[in-house]
Amino acid sequence: MIRLERIEVRGHSEAGQFRGALNLAPGLQVVSARNSYGKSLAAKAVAWCLGIEPMFGLQDNDPVFFPEAAREEIEFPGLPPSRVVSSECSVTLVHEDGRRVALTRSIRGGDRTTVLVREDQGEDVRESRLRARRETMQDEFGGLQRFLFDWLKWPRQTVTTFRGGTADIYVENLAPLFDIDQDEGWTNIQALQIGRYGQQQISEIAVEYLLGSVEAIQARVARQQTNQRNAYLRETARELAERVDRAFLARGWRVGWSGNGPLEDVISRWSARRLRDALADQANVDFPTTRAMLDGRAEKLRGALTKAPIDALNATTTAATSQRVVELKENRHRLNAELNSLRTQHSETSGLLASIEHRIQSASDLLRLKKSGVGRLDHVECPTCHRDLDPATFALTNQSELSISSHIEALRRDRDLMRKGVESIEDGLITTRAALDEVDRELRDAERALVTVTSAIGTVREQLAKTASDLIATERDIDRLVESVNEINELQHSVDEWIKEAKAVGQLAAPAADLDDRRAAFLSALKRYLLALGHSAVTQGAAPLLQIDDQYVPYLAGRRLRSLGSASDQARLVAAYSLGLAAASEQVAGFHPGFVLLDEPQQQNPDDQHRELFVTFLSRQLAREAKFQTVIFTWLRDDEIAALRGQGTDVITPEGEHFLQLLPPPTEPERNPGPEDPAPDEAGSLTSDGLDSQPQ
């Protein structure tokens, strides 16, 4: 663990050099100064030097959250406003093993993208400049975040993001739990947690990291990755099933190949049956048999064309070819009629489905009005003559909530049936179009054959032309069959790869075994600090009912603690959460930095009663003897300061009206006269040769 030893802000203005510094000791440090003194400037200097300004909602390397006195214009007592020429701040950290490091970063007039790091290890002092932002965790030698984690001896930990990738845990992810800013830090627990990095469950992970449960984080990340992988596999299974259905329907095959359901069921179904088996069972499609039939037909036609005897008296070739064209045209006409009928059914069914949707919405609105009692006609009058009317005149029917609910359920069943009907009609449209395309192809081949046959002279040439046309058509069928087989094989390969990938996904990781002990330590510390701070909802009798859920949100008797108590209790909850987490981390050897910075904790409850509760907490042994450093920036009255100091609480009251004070101009050292300098005479005059001259 570490502590803050010194916070300093310095710079140069048109009026001269200025500086403000705070020296801090271990344990509880209460810095008391009036408003506008510059306490928040000192607090923000810590965040700036640590490079965690993004948690304030700022862009990287943007010092706009500093007061203007540190970056634009500063006022000194008795002087007009003076422009700030340059400024910087530095923070000195001391490790429990004796190592010391000073971080210095420019605010104005220098390079804000780098931090000057001065490491002091006894006789060994090393200085380096590190990058404050942008991939500083990945930069092993030039990144500030990487240096801080290494210097603190914190393990690096990657977490999953909502975009499916990974990201490191950064200091600004942990800082909202120990650096409470006065502007937004008191609005909620981890109010300044970074969200734009896209890290999943980062609030829970930040708590577990400070508690030192790296195994719990790794198990959580493993579960997140498994869930992400399962969601991806379910989505790809549905997309792959749609590809298979479209490929089948495009050839006129209706086969149910579903990708819906639990992942284990999809794996089981797809592993038990291949695409060719489904085609053979449901569409009566057998590729080997069809290929053998086409090869046999082609061989027979090839033999008839090249070496089989020809009957010169056979004159039926032209008539048979013409009849084939007529049959195909009739088949095409029938398919066109079926296609038009399906289009009409699809339009009517879609309109009926939309009508049912509107009826469900209207019935749901009516049910809501029935339940709320709105729209009942207890009294009816004419809008013009204001004469009372009998509601029975309008022949309105009295409907109960039960009857409307039953009507809605019936409409929903009808909607489901209509949806299935629309899907079936859409499948019929696709298969009918596929069959029509097949007939059109056969018709084109038959018409070409008819032209060739009718152009031939003699029965022998007619038979040869007919045989050649049939052979060409058969070879085309073989080519199309090969194309279909290749596409089915490609789809089957995709299915096999999906099954292999799905089976490789591991089971959900179990939580870490030591997490329960760390959670119990945190909960116990949280109870102690809530009681010590005087949270109105957490009394001695109610404290045993306090629990934290899996998201580390405190609940009291089943209700969120944030919603209980008075509005001023919100600040107590935030303070107790931060202090309790630091105490628990120290107890279980976690990775808490070792200091908690609370900026203006009384701004939500400045009245006398709450001030007394706060001062009482500062005087308690729990606050004074904590093994971690607590730095509180606030304002206390003189009597409160005297009372706290009498109890042994360290209260710092900085001098001056403001934190930043104008330094006196440097004075040149007094110079001793040398042998080359002329010496003054008794009258205070100097002779031309530098010798003493006696008065006459």
Q: State what percent of residues in the chain have pLDDT above 90.
A: 51
DSSP 68-81: HHHHTEE--TTS--
Alpha carbon distance 563, 186 (integer Å): 14
How confident is the model over 237-249, as pLDDT tens digits? 999 999 998 888 8
Pick 696 or 448 by higher pLDDT: 448
What's the pLDDT at 98? 87
Q: 258: buried, middle or exposed (CB in 10 Å: 19+, 13-18, 0-12)?
A: middle
pLDDT for res 692 = 36
Query: pLDDT tens digit string along 72-105?
Result: 999 888 889 999 999 999 999 999 988 999 999 9
* Segment among 48-57, 119-128, 510-519 with least mean pLDDT: 510-519
* DSSP calls for 217-246: HHHHHHHHHHHHHHHHHHHHHHHHHHHHHH
For the segment 158-214, what is each residue's pLDDT rounded down to a tens digit? 999 888 788 899 999 999 999 999 988 898 999 999 888 889 999 999 999 999 999
Tell me the C-alpha distance between 71 and 87, whole Å. 7
Is the Cα torsion angle 543, 546, 552, 553 positive or negative in sign? negative
pLDDT higher than 70, residue 670: no
Judge whether residue 412 has pLDDT over 50: yes
Question: What is the predicted pLDDT for the residue at 180?
Answer: 93
- Could you report the per-residue pLDDT of 115-143, keeping only the tens digit for each? 999 998 777 788 899 988 766 777 767 78
> Distance between CA 683 and CA 686 in Å, rounded?
9
Please report the pLDDT score of residue 401 as a whole number. Answer: 82
The rounded Cα 28 to chain-centroid distance in angstroms is: 37
The pLDDT-based confidence of 684 (bands split at 50, 70, 90) is very low
Q: Confidence class of residue 513 from pLDDT cuts 50, 70 and 90?
A: low
Q: What share of the chain is helix, strand, coil (3-state, %, to 5)?
A: 50, 15, 35
274-288 average pLDDT score = 90
For strands 380-381 and 388-389, give the pairing: antiparallel
The mean per-residue pLDDT over the stretch 415-433 comes to 89
507 or 221: which leads in pLDDT: 221
The pLDDT value given to residue 483: 93
Structure tokens at 206: 């930040």
Residue 656 CA to chain centroid, in angstroms?
46
The per-residue pLDDT for 682 is 37
Confidence of residue 521 (pLDDT cuts 50, 70, 90): very high
pLDDT higher for 135 or 596? 596
User: At 290, phi and psi to the nearest 5?
Assistant: -65, -40
pTM (predicted TM-score): 0.70
Tally of residues, the chain = 696
Question: H helices of 534-592, where?
Answer: 569-587
Q: Is the pLDDT of residue 144 over 50?
A: yes
Contact (CB, 8 A) for 132 and 112 = yes
DSSP 627: S
Radius of gyration of the chain (CA): 43
- Residue 374: what residue type? V
Quote the pLDDT of residue 578.
96
Residues 654-665 have a mean pLDDT of 88
Say what the pLDDT of residue 696 is.
29
The tens digit of pLDDT for each residue in 314-362 reads 888 889 989 989 999 999 999 999 999 999 999 999 999 999 999 999 8
Listed in sequence order, the residues at least 6 apart from 616 whose beta carbon sits closer than 8 Å to its beta carbon are 534
Nearest to 91 by CA among 142, 21, 29: 21
Contacts 24+ apart (CB under 8 A), 124-129: none
Residue 387's pLDDT is: 79
Displacement of CA 254 from its chain's centroid (Å): 41
